Structure 1
Amino acid sequence: HMAKDQSYYFSHDVDAFNDPKIVAMISEYGVIAYAWWWIIIEKLASYEDYKLPLKKYTFVALDNELGMKNEQNSTFVEHVFNKNEHVLEQNTFCSFCSFLFIFALINDFELLACDGEYFWSPSLTRRFELRKAKNEEISQKRRLAGLKSAEARRENKQKRTRVEQNLTRVEQNELIKEKKRKENIYSYSYYRDGENQNSNELLNMFDDEPPKTDPYKNVFKIYMNDVGEISPMTKEKLEYLVNDFGESEVITAISKSVEVGKASIAYITAILNNKIREEAAKESGTNRRGKGTRTIKAKSDGSDVDWKNETGEWL
């Protein structure tokens, strides 16, 4: 049977020509024996277990491959046969030149070995077994390296997954913090009194500190509900208006702007500025009237003067 892992090459000592056994073989049969030797080795290398059977078909083929068909009557045959006559005279293969040559390689030069059923080259078998062991070792190392590489890839994938999960949690936390911040600053919803209380309680759940009075909170809520979203610039303007006119006046101005269909921060500001002018004019008239009254009342002891009306609510 041909070898299952038939090789395309095998190792060959560069100084094989100087091997004493090879030298003896060449001396006995000529340089042509060196060619016959390597043809036989190549044939052995192509078969399973690197052995050839001691069968008629083996020597028929070898006679043809070694070009020994015309060697039947040569001195080569006579020499080999005469030298080993006591062994070969009963052998049915002695008519094949290749058998006579192989017999000499086994018995005279110890280049081949035989067990009665097969013949082989111990040197060739040893080399192939060594090569097979090395190939198996290399395959094992590659397999282990592959397993190690696969394990490393799995570990790296797990690490990346953990990092991605951690990043996702961090990002989610940041989004939650940002949402809370916007809720506490801009995103106020306007509800009725009972709903406002519930909303405030929900907002306070996210506060790290106890709830504080926010003079702008109701203004922001009403603006968001009646006018629209509060931009940073609008927020700043509303804070200025609350500081200048008070919470209730700003809320009143928002309501008036909605009533006339001109709800905007500019119109709300205009309403409040007009309020200042109206109050200034009113105060000026009151002062003129108050002067005459005080002149008349000065004659009394002052017990009948209404000081609340005299001073006015806007002083």
Structure 2
Amino acid sequence: MTDRYEQLVEIAQALVAPGKGILAIDESGGTIKKRFDSVGVESTEANRLDYRSMMLSTEGLGTHISGAILFDETIRQQLPDGTSLVSLMEQAGILPGIKVDKGAKAMAGFEDEKVTEGLDGLRERLAEYAELGAKFAKWRAVITIGDEIPSRACIDANAHALARYAALCQEAGIVPIVEPEVLMDGDHDLDTSFDVTEATLKALFVQLYEQNVMLEGLVLKASMVISGSEAQDRAGVEEVAEATVDCLLNAVPAATAGVVFLSGGQDDVEATCHLDAMNKMGDMPWPLSFSYGRALQAECLKTWAADPKANREKAQQILLHRARMNGLAALGEWSEEEEN
């Protein structure tokens, strides 16, 4: 095995180490502004630094969090004493990651469908991010379920872009996290979610194979197979867990280093509950863990925003609790007693 191959495998395995998952704090400027607006905080660079450094300096966070996905601004930021956020993470045993896509844009010729942009200049950007300390990266594609969609063209275009991104990451010695998110928005049922998720994952792994991407050095960030958020009769926890695992077994090669789930609009405890139910089903070909944004941050953000100075430690404790709950869920050891 070459040094690069070994390095990629080592990082990928560290990201999905038993009882650990990933903290997603890679919100774009627009998204973090929306989050801050919702809690009455102005989205300035100083406030964003204060909030994100509060999370990353939480004592003991590295026990349950293996890595954190950062935004371009964050990977370059330093604390007032000159300590970079990257070195703060390294001290805590948390791997620095970076969001590299340029967002999902309207797909020409396909109404209500999107394709993610950002491949132009990506090789050079990845080289710079590696210099800044990034060990892994993330690219998100968006698949919408609706009337007559997704189209095959949309699935294939996004799968192709994800695979090209992944190949460039591995060339740069960076582990790619590939995220083909099937959105929860809509009134579709569990079966429709299953079919679309399966078709998307199968297309993705065909493209990864064609682009010579090494699966042992790659992590899949998957959406759970779940009823649409506006569905009349939403599937329960066990149904979601079984459908999701069945779908992954049908479409994800065993060589893949691991699967981390996005929360995708689920509330905090719901996301934990679903992950735990999957891991209670027994051994899988790959570790099943988490890469949550809102489901880890929501309560923490609210508490911090009420009084950033006075509530700093309280907000950190809330984040640590959610991280620990999801760490337990990743082992299939979560319970309502632990939660409360």
TM range (shorter): under 0.3
Q: Which is strand-richer, 1 or 2?
A: 2
Computing the radius of gyration over CA atoms, which structure comes out larger, 1 or 2? 1
TM-score (norm 2): 0.17
